[in-house]
């Protein structure tokens, strides 16, 4: 049995290191003697297969030994990590220790979820956290864990159904994305396909049947394309190897699902074609690309150059999709042999031939991004928030952005300059005062795009972050780790400071919108104590936008109530919504004799003292009116919605044209001003406006506009 492993290992591990692998095998076989797996095989088969998978990735002797020993300490209580350290050395012992801790976290996770049920968020968060920490210490721990999972998935049919589902979900949620992030594609696809087969057996069968039934046609087509491609490249003097590339069942499933969402249909085999071109040099990559695009039409938007912009997980390749021979689109990957090796082995390639060599500094630099993400995540304390952050920061779609010095940073899609600043140095976020993208100033909410160069403009000193950064709707910060850092800043402030900040926010943004007392607004938000309400506003756990929304939905309810009364035929209390044609804004009131309601045919009567009263056209009082010259045509008008009278006060530096600026702004919002009083004190002028607005949201918009008028110092609502 050991021979399977040794035949793979002899090719690349130096002879003097083979001994430790054999030793570890014998030690493990002895330790697990008499133990069997659910499949009935001797237990040693499991650590052995784990080591074989790692040998395929060409991992070093210490990692293989640790893989062989990975279950020993856990299964044999009489063998400790110290025993392993004594016999196999510190490296092997640390790796085994890491894997064991990892496994303990995993078991705790399953136990927390009751085994058969889905793992609780708390437990899953804990697993990921331990995993990330173990990984930041030594990536080989995770590689061993991935190989361990691979063999467990291969033998999953021996587990009860509920356990199978649980393990498969975990594999798809955590392990496959992890393999992806580490660039070990081969392992990723295997894990995905096996998990998918358990979770969605019907779909799995249907796709594999489709693959089989089209196999002959596909092979003929691909063979033909290969021949043409090889000939063209040879003609151009490019030495190459052209390979057909199998696509995984799970990746086809994802593509079909994506197309279905976009309402696009795929002809059945469209996505099943793939080719790979291996060449000798980077220069040849681009030369080959030129040849391919000359011969076959590229599909727009389906091009990625990871040769010029390698991924942080070291992956390099040119991806293009072309329509080959005017029939099918074919995905083609172009890379050098060296890049190919990296693409196959991912970070594991680091250990290739490394045995006995000095450490690889450039590699350490390249996995710095990993450590940074993990560092950032350490600050997130809530389990669910941690999980959300980890998923977003670690497993989401990523973009690549350059620093001005040409260094690449990887960020989740949708990240902003603040996220970028955080990624460069976690404290830089507190010195950021602006950003330039590709040489141009951008707002801090700018969403970075793949290939952008971003420069962070900084102040010399640390500045107070803005609470707006925590508001998800405003889009300043995308990554959970950066948001946690900002949140932490506010939480660490004294409560009194938070209350004061909350009070300022309240005065500036909320108080002026409502006539409710402050305590009532707090109560509306479900907070009994005003101080607590202000503290929450001040530390960012409650956002201004949230409070404003609550206030305006409350007003909307009140308005609906009025409208409801109108529909019921109750008299309306104001003249709201009535236009008197040709007379301008006269005082109107509804006649009590006939109580017209919205939709009735109406006519106005000009009274001597109360302006115009509105009657139904059929009202007997009107029919018998002996002064017909006092009747005026009226209509319900187009604005039948209810409007609220409000009074606001604008305090401003006095200047020529101020009043005009303000009133034209107000009418631009389509708000009618019913009165306007202006008073001057020295250089300051106070303008009091009475007007009708449709609600709090409109008033809020208006305040926002008025704030930006030149000279305006404050705007607030006053009592009517």
- Whose CA is closest to 297, among 254, 268, 331, 326? 326
The answer to whether 633 and 581 have CB atoms below 8 angstroms apart is yes
**Shortest CB 134 distance to Mn ion, Å:** 15
Q: Find the binding residues for Mn ion in span 282-341 (CB under 5 A).
A: none
Query: Per CB under 5 A, which of residues 370..399 are in contact with Mn ion?
Result: none
Candidate ranges 109-117, 146-154, 384-392, 534-542; the one touching Mn ion (CB under 5 A): 146-154
Stretch that binds Mn ion, among 142-150, 167-175, 418-426, 552-560 (CB under 5 A): 142-150
Nearer to Mn ion among residue 96 and residue 222 (C-beta): 96
Considering only residues 341 through 360, tell me which ones interact with Mn ion, judged by CB under 5 A.
none
Laid out side by side, the sheet with 454-458 consists of 440-442, 432-437, 454-458
69 and 47 Cβ atoms separated by less than 8 Å: yes
Q: Which stretch binds Mn ion (CB under 5 A): 141-149, 276-284, 419-427, 569-577?
A: 141-149
Nearer to Mn ion by C-beta: 148 or 166? 148
Task: Give me the least distance between CB of 46 and Mn ion, in Å please.
Answer: 6
User: Shortest gap between Cβ of 410 and Mn ion (angstroms)?
Assistant: 31
Is 148 annotated in the active site?
Answer: no
Strands 588-590 and 612-616, by their bridges, are: parallel
Q: At what angle do helices 90-112 and 139-154 cross, to 10 degrees?
A: 50
Our answer to whether residue 75 is catalytic in this structure is: yes
Residues 71-90 binding Mn ion (CB under 5 A) are 71
CA distances from 479 to 384, 399, 438, 676 (A): 15, 13, 22, 48
Q: What is the residue whose two structure tokens read 């990735």?
A: 57
* Cβ closest to Mn ion, residue 32 vs residue 485: 32
Between 88 and 386, CB nearer to Mn ion: 88
Q: Does 166 engage in binding with Mn ion (CB under 5 A)? A: no
Q: Closest distance between Mn ion and the C-beta of residue 74, in Å?
A: 8
Give the tokens for residue 321.
Answer: 């999709």
Query: Which CB sits closer to Mn ion, 150 or 240?
Result: 150
Beta-strand runs (E) in 249-365: 274-279, 297-305, 318-324, 328-336
Residues touching Mn ion, count (CB under 5 A): 2
Single out the residue of 60, 97, 126, 148 in contact with Mn ion (rule: CB under 5 A).
148
Residue 80: CB minimum distance to Mn ion, A: 18
Cβ burial of 264 (10 Å; 0-12, 13-18, 19+) is exposed
Closest CB to Mn ion among residues 126, 148: 148
The tokens for 152 are 């467990």
Interatomic CA distance for residues 131 and 175, integer angstroms = 10
Residue 240 DSSP SS3: strand
**Minimum distance of Mn ion from residue 447's CB (angstroms):** 42
Q: Which of 16, 26, 30, 75 is catalytic?
A: 75
145 versus 180: smaller Cβ distance to Mn ion: 145
Hey, which residues between 24 and 43 contact Mn ion (CB under 5 A)?
Answer: none
**Least Cβ distance, residue 140 to Mn ion (angstroms):** 15
Q: Say which of 23, 29, 74, 203 is annotated catalytic.
A: 74
Indicate the residue among 148 and 170 with the shorter CB distance to Mn ion.
148
Angle in degrees, CA 594, 560, 590, rounded to 5: 20
H/E element, 418: helix 417-424
Per-residue 3-state assignment (H helix, E strand, C coil) for 352-411? CCCCCCCCCHHHHHHCHHHHHHHHHHHCCCCHHHHHHHHHHHHHCCEEEEECCCCCEEEE
Query: Is the distance from CB of 436 to CB of 457 less than 8 angstroms?
Result: yes
Identify whether the C-beta of residue 717 lies closer than 8 Å to the C-beta of residue 513.
Answer: yes
The count of other CB atoms within 10 Å of the CB of residue 179 is: 25
Which residues contact residue 662 at a Cβ distance below 8 angstroms, ignoring those fewer than 6 apart? 650, 687, 689, 706, 709
First to last CA, the chain: 91
Using the minimum distance from each CB to Mn ion, give the nearer residue, 159 or 631: 159
Phi and psi, residue 650, nearest 5°: -110, 120
Site for Mn ion in 442-471 (CB under 5 A): none
54-73 positions binding Mn ion, by CB under 5 A: 71
Tell me the residue nearest to Mn ion as measured from the CB. Answer: 148
At its nearest, how many Å lie between Mn ion and the CB of residue 347?
Answer: 21
Shortest distance, CB of residue 154 to Mn ion, whole angstroms? Answer: 12
Q: Which is nearer to Mn ion, 148 or 312 (CB)?
A: 148
Is the separation of the CB atoms in 642 and 559 below 8 Å? yes
* Closest approach of Mn ion to the CB of residue 136, in Å: 22
Helices (H) and strands (E) in the chain, counts: 29, 19
The pair of three-digit structure tokens given for residue 38, joined into one six-digit string? 């659910």
Six token digits for residue 288: 């080959």
Residues binding Mn ion (CB under 5 A): 71, 148
Query: What residues are labeled active site?
Result: 74-75
């Amino acid at each position: 049995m050991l021979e399977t492993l040794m035949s793979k290992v002899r090719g690349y591990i130096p002879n003097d290191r083979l001994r430790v692998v054999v030793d570890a095998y014998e030690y493990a076989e002895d330790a697990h003697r008499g133990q069997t797996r659910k499949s009935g095989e001797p237990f040693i088969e499991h650590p052995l297969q784990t080591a074989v998978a790692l040998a395929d990735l060409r991992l070093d002797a210490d990692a293989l030994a640790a893989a062989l020993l990975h279950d020993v300490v856990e299964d044999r209580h009489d063998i400790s990590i110290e025993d392993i350290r004594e016999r196999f050395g510190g490296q092997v012992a640390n790796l085994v220790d890491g894997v064991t801790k990892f496994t303990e976290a995993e078991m705790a996770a399953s136990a927390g979820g009751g085994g058969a049920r889905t793992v609780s968020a708390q437990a899953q968060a804990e697993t990921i956290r331990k995993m990330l920490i173990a990984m930041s210490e030594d990536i080989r721990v995770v590689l061993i864990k991935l190989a361990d999972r691979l063999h467990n998935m291969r033998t999953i049919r021996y587990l009860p159904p509920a356990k199978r589902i649980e393990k498969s979900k975990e594999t798809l949620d955590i392990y496959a994305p992890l393999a992806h992030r580490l660039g070990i594609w081969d392992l990723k696809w295997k894990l995905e396909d096996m998990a998918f087969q358990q979770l969605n057996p019907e779909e799995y069968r249907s796709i594999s049947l489709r693959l089989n039934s089209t196999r002959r046609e596909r092979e003929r087509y691909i063979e033909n394309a290969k021949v043409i491609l090889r000939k063209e490249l040879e003609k151009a003097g490019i030495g190459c190897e052209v390979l057909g590339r199998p696509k995984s069942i799970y990746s086809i499933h994802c593509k079909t699902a994506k197309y279905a969402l976009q309402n696009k249909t795929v002809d059945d085999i469209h996505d099943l074609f793939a080719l790979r071109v291996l060449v000798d040099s980077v220069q040849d990559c681009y030369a080959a690309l030129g040849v391919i695009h000359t011969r076959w039409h590229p599909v727009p938007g389906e091009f990625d150059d990871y040769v010029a912009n390698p991924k942080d997980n070291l992956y390099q390749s040119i991806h293009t999709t072309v329509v080959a021979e005017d029939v099918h689109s074919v995905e083609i990957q172009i890379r050098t042999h060296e890049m190919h090796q990296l693409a196959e082995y991912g970070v594991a390639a680091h250990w290739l031939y490394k045995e006995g060599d000095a450490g690889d500094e450039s590699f350490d630099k390249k996995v710095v991004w990993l450590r940074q993400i993990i560092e950032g995540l350490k600050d997130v304390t809530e389990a669910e928030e941690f999980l959300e952050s980890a998923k977003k920061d670690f497993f989401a779609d990523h973009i690549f952005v350059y620093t001005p010095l040409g260094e690449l940073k990887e960020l989740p899609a949708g990240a902003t300059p603040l996220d970028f600043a955080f990624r460069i140095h976690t404290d830089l976020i507190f010195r950021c005062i602006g950003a330039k993208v590709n040489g141009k100033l951008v707002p801090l909410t700018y969403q970075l795009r793949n290939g952008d160069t971003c420069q962070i403009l900084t102040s010399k000193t640390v500045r107070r972050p803005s609470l707006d950064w925590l508001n998800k709707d405003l889009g300043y910060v995308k990554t959970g780790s950066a948001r946690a850092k900002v949140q932490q800043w506010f939480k660490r402030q004294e409560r009194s400071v938070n209350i004061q900040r909350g009070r300022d926010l309240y005065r500036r943004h909320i108080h002026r919108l409502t006539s409710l007392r402050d305590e009532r607004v707090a109560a509306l938000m479900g907070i009994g104590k005003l101080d607590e309400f202000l503290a929450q506003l001040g530390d960012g756990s409650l956002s201004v936008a949230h409070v404003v929304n609550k206030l305006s939905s409350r007003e909307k309810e009140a308005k609906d109530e009025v409208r409801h009364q109108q529909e019921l035929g109750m008299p309306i209390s104001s003249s709201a919504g009535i236009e008197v044609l040709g007379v301008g804004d006269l005082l109107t009131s509804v006649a009590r004799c006939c109580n017209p309601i919205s939709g009735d045919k109406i006519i106005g009567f000009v009274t001597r003292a109360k302006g115009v009263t509105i009657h139904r056209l059929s009202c007997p009082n009107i029919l018998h009116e002996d002064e017909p010259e006092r009747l005026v045509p009226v209509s319900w008008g187009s604005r039948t919605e209810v409007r609220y009278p409000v009074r606001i006060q604008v305090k401003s530096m006095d200047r020529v044209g101020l009043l005009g600026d303000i009133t034209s702004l107000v009418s631009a919002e389509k708000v009618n001003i019913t009165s306007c009083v202006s008073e001057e004190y020295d250089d300051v002028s106070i303008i009091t406006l009475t007007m009708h607005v449709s609600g709090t949201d409109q008033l809020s918009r208006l305040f926002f506009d008025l704030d930006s008028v030149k000279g305006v110092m404050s705007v607030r609502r006053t009592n009517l």
